Amino acid sequence: MAEAAGVSQSTVSRALSGDPIVAEATRNRILDIARSLNYHIDAAASRTRSGRIETIAVVMVCPEHEDVRVLNPFHYGLLAAICSAASQRGLETIVSFQGARDRLKDSYEQGRRAMGIIVIGTSENHTAWNFFRNSAQNGTHIVCWGAPYDDLDWVRADNHAGAALAVEHLLAQGYKSIAYVGDNNCPQRQFAERYAGYVTAMEQAGKTPRLIEVAPGLSRHEQGRRAAQALLASGQAFNAIFAACDDLALGAMAVLEERGLSVPGDVGVVGFDGVRSGAIAVTPLSTIEPDFAAAGEVLVERMLASVAGEVAPRRRVPVSLVVRESSAAAAPQKATAA
Amino acid sequence: MAEAAGVSQSTVSRALSGDPIVAEATRNRILDIARSLNYHIDAAASRTRSGRIETIAVVMVCPEHEDVRVLNPFHYGLLAAICSAASQRGLETIVSFQGARDRLKDSYEQGRRAMGIIVIGTSENHTAWNFFRNSAQNGTHIVCWGAPYDDLDWVRADNHAGAALAVEHLLAQGYKSIAYVGDNNCPQRQFAERYAGYVTAMEQAGKTPRLIEVAPGLSRHEQGRRAAQALLASGQAFNAIFAACDDLALGAMAVLEERGLSVPGDVGVVGFDGVRSGAIAVTPLSTIEPDFAAAGEVLVERMLASVAGEVAPRRRVPVSLVVRESSAAAAPQKATAA
DNA sequence: CTGAAAGCGCTTACAG
DNA sequence: CTGAAAGCGCTTACAG
């Protein structure tokens, strides 16, 4: 390559790395030749010499049994957003799906494969999250979404604002008796935040919050089904559900419809996450959707800051209300279902 | 590290790479010290010297506008399976989402970042697929799933057998008049294969195949809706639908239910892909599901073979029938809907 | 602005 | 079985 261009190896290196010190004519000539030869810098050698690593490891935390189906479209959307945000900044992403406790791996940074690790995925694999918490304490650069702990460097949706958006929307649509379906004592910090946001918004509107706690250990969809059954069995009037996530909302909605209640009309429903199956449900689900692109950017931004020894200012990702059919106006005659 | 163990750098290198020539006692001592020092081999230097690259690039082909939502859970399941299969073999995966024509990138191999590229994703971005077809012709190692061409090194589900499974199942459940909903002239080779499998199975059963072609340019869900509307409008009797993919099936099912037809009973429905939203639909969808783990393994296997200058024997991934509610037995009285 | 030379942390013949 | 030494393809002070 150097001899094809008639310059030294040093100059080729400088031209290809975009060093402005090389004469523009020289640089362009080298760039042209590189293109025609389909020559690219050897990334391994470049890293070895410079010590710079332009790669981020992304770990998707799976359940211990490694059945990836537990990961919902939300996690995948986040993964795509992270890879895209990294790519925009010229960074590469090494992706792994980790679940089984004997296959957990955090040595990307030690092995100079990546500058640090972005950890996302299910909050329910405590072993895995503990493992990465430990890595962070040992100095590995880790930024995460969905951690069951607050002491990792985290990024989260603006859950409080999102919950308020949902409550205000349901009230404006004529639903005055809104129950919250979700886990309150679960490891997912964001669920607690959504519940807190719901309580605040309800109280500001002079309404009494009502929590339908879900049973642990089941799929979100099944938890949603049981919550709706419990709500109906309670005999107390309600005419709307705000669920901590879309899968809970879809499960609840299925039961309501099986019991002959109309969604919307008899009951209004709003979920949280913006998953695709909500959009194509028989009754399309209104939801609070985080800005995925922003989520990817903020995660990458914090990683870069962390590696540079700084702390990035942003850690909350904005959310917006996506209005679909499940929260269309309440039926005026029967404003409460039993 | 070498001095901590009191041996030469060479011996450390050999011990850490598992070279059986080093004395077991020496190796174990070095391994212990490495663990206690949290020392890992510098992957960049190792690659530079040895020339071995234990990394595969995985490209998810997105639409040109890069809205990742078009990628369905099937593609993500495949991605997870590839990453897991690679990891089982000690390989790393660099993942990127590529759509916009001016951001297409195939230089992983030239830049010594990866041994080759596994390309998956939506078949609809012709620019992207052409780009990678071109890369393959220029010598880049490429293995793919979902390519609109046959001349790339591909891996696909056993679509023919899957379609036969679906038809036989519907017939056994008492559905005698089965329409096929799908694209026949579309770029996805697998759709053509599924249709061919359907035709063969129908003819073997002495039934007349019937194709409801879907309108291009819409989401699969909307295509499914319109296909069901067209089917109903045709006035010709049918009592089952085998759809080329789950999203089509779900769209069709939504229309059938809106029109007051019962699924199952009046109409039986089977899809293809095994996506999650089918499992949690109001009427859970029977489907033909490829073995995801096998898909990941076969893709990685072919990549490794290709790099070694060989051709791996396997390229078809087995499928199985997942029976859910949408294909429960036909209603005996009214065995055909209008 | 460009080149000659040192050196990143490994691996690997070669010698013992 | 182990060590001394060369060298992978880059980047980067340093000199001009």
A96 to chain B: which residues are within 8 Å by CB? 83, 87, 92-93
Say yes or no for a CB contact (<8 Å) between A277 and B282: no
> B-contacting residues of A 105-124, CB under 8 Å?
107, 110-113
- Determine the Cα–Cα distance for residues A227 and A184; give it in Å rounded to an integer: 13
DSSP state of A198: H
Q: Worst-scoring range by mean pLDDT, A238-242, B192-196, B275-279?
A: B275-279
CA-closest candidate to residue A153, choices A133, A123, A138: A133
Fold match between domain B3-50 and domain B159-290: no
**Residue A174 pLDDT greater than 90, yes or no:** yes
Residue B185's pLDDT band, with cuts at 50, 70 and 90, is confident
Q: If pLDDT is split at 50, 70 and 90, which confidence band does B189 have?
A: confident
Are the beta carbons of B293 and B329 closer than 8 angstroms? no
Smallest Cβ–Cβ distance between B110 and the set A38, A87, A92 belongs to A38
Is the per-residue pLDDT at A337 higher than 50? no
Which residues neighbour A315 within 8 Å (Cβ) at sequence distance 6 or greater?
Answer: A154, A155, A156, A298, A302
A188-220: pLDDT as tens digits: 788 999 999 999 999 999 999 999 999 888 888
As a whole number, the mean pLDDT across chain A is 91
Domain spans of chain A, in order of start: 3-50, 55-157+292-317, 159-290
Position B206, amino acid: G
**High-pLDDT (> 70) share of chain B, %:** 98
Sign (positive/negative) of CA torsion B298, B304, B307, B311?
negative
**Residues 6 or more apart in contact with residue B141 via CB below 8 angstroms:** B109, B115, B116, B117, B303, B306, B307
Q: What is the CATH number of domain A55-157+292-317?
A: 3.40.50.2300
- Per-residue pLDDT at B335: 43
Query: CB distance A112–B68 less than 8 Å?
Result: no
Residue B251 pLDDT greater than 60, yes or no: yes
**Chain B residues inside the 8 Å CB shell of A113:** 43-44, 92
Asked if residue A264 lies in contact with residue A248, where contact means CB atoms within 8 angstroms, the answer is no
CB B82 within 8 A of CB A60: no
- Confidence at A281, pLDDT banded by 50, 70, 90: confident
| Minimal-distance CA residue of chain B relative to A66 | B84
Judging contacts by C-beta atoms under 8 Å, the chain B residues touching residue A111 are: 40-43
Q: Return d(Cα B69, Cα B48) in angstroms, integer.
A: 38
Best mutation target among A48, A67, A287 (most B Cβ atoms within 10 Å) is A48
Task: Give residue A241's pLDDT.
Answer: 97
Domain B3-50 matching CATH 1.20.120: the answer reads no
Is the pLDDT at A251 greater than 50? The verdict is yes
Q: How far is CA B161 from CA A142, B158, B240, in A?
A: 46, 6, 19
Question: How long a stretch of residues is chain A?
Answer: 338
Q: Is the pLDDT of residue A297 over 80?
A: yes
Enumerate the residues of chain A whose CB falls inside 8 A of the CB of residue B45.
44, 48, 112
Q: What pLDDT, on the 0 to 100 scale, is given for residue A37?
A: 86
Tokens encoding B192 = 């053509």
Q: What is the pLDDT of residues A126-167, one digit of tens each?
A: 999 999 999 999 999 999 998 888 899 999 999 999 999 999
Confidence at B321, pLDDT banded by 50, 70, 90: very high
Q: Which residues contact A280 (CB under 8 A, 6 or more apart)?
A: B221, B247, B250, B251, B277
How confident is the model over A39-87, as pLDDT tens digits?
999 999 999 999 999 999 999 999 998 777 778 788 999 999 999 999 9
Query: Does B277 reach chain A within 8 Å, measured CB to CB?
Result: yes
The Cα angle at residue B82 between residues B79 and B86, in degrees rounded to 5? 145
Chain A contact present for B66, CB below 8 A: yes
- pLDDT for res B333: 54
Q: Which of B43, B72, B79 sits opposite A113 (nearest CB)?
A: B43
Interface residue A291 vs chain B (CB under 8 A): no
B221/A contact by beta carbon, under 8 A: yes
Helix then strand count (H, E) for chain A reads: 12, 13
Query: Which of A52-61, B113-122, B268-277 is the least confident region?
Result: B268-277
Tell me which nucleotides of strand C come within 7 A of a protein CB: 1-5, 7-13
Question: Is A338 a residue whose pLDDT tops 50?
Answer: no
Cα–Cα distance, B147 to B187 (Å, whole number): 8
pLDDT in tens, B6-49: 788 888 889 888 888 888 888 888 888 888 888 899 999 999 99
pLDDT by residue (tens digit) across A1-17? Answer: 767 777 888 888 898 88
Task: Give contacts of A53 with chain B, Cβ < 8 Å.
Answer: 44
Please report which helix (H) or strand (E) contains residue A185, including its range.
none
Give me the CA B49–C1' D7 separation in Å, rounded. Answer: 8
What percent of chain B is modeled with pLDDT above 90? Answer: 70
Mean pLDDT of A254-274: 93
Q: How high is the pLDDT of residue A307? A: 94
pLDDT tens readout for residues B60-103:
999 998 777 778 788 999 999 999 999 999 999 999 999 999 99
The residue in chain B having the minimum alpha-carbon distance to the alpha carbon of residue A41 is B111
Nearest nucleotide relative to B48: CA against C1': D8
Q: Which CATH superfamily is domain A159-290 in?
A: Response regulator (3.40.50.2300)
Among B45, B69, B94, whose Cβ lies nearest the Cβ of A92? B94
Query: Do residue A110 and residue B38 have CB atoms under 8 angstroms apart?
Result: yes
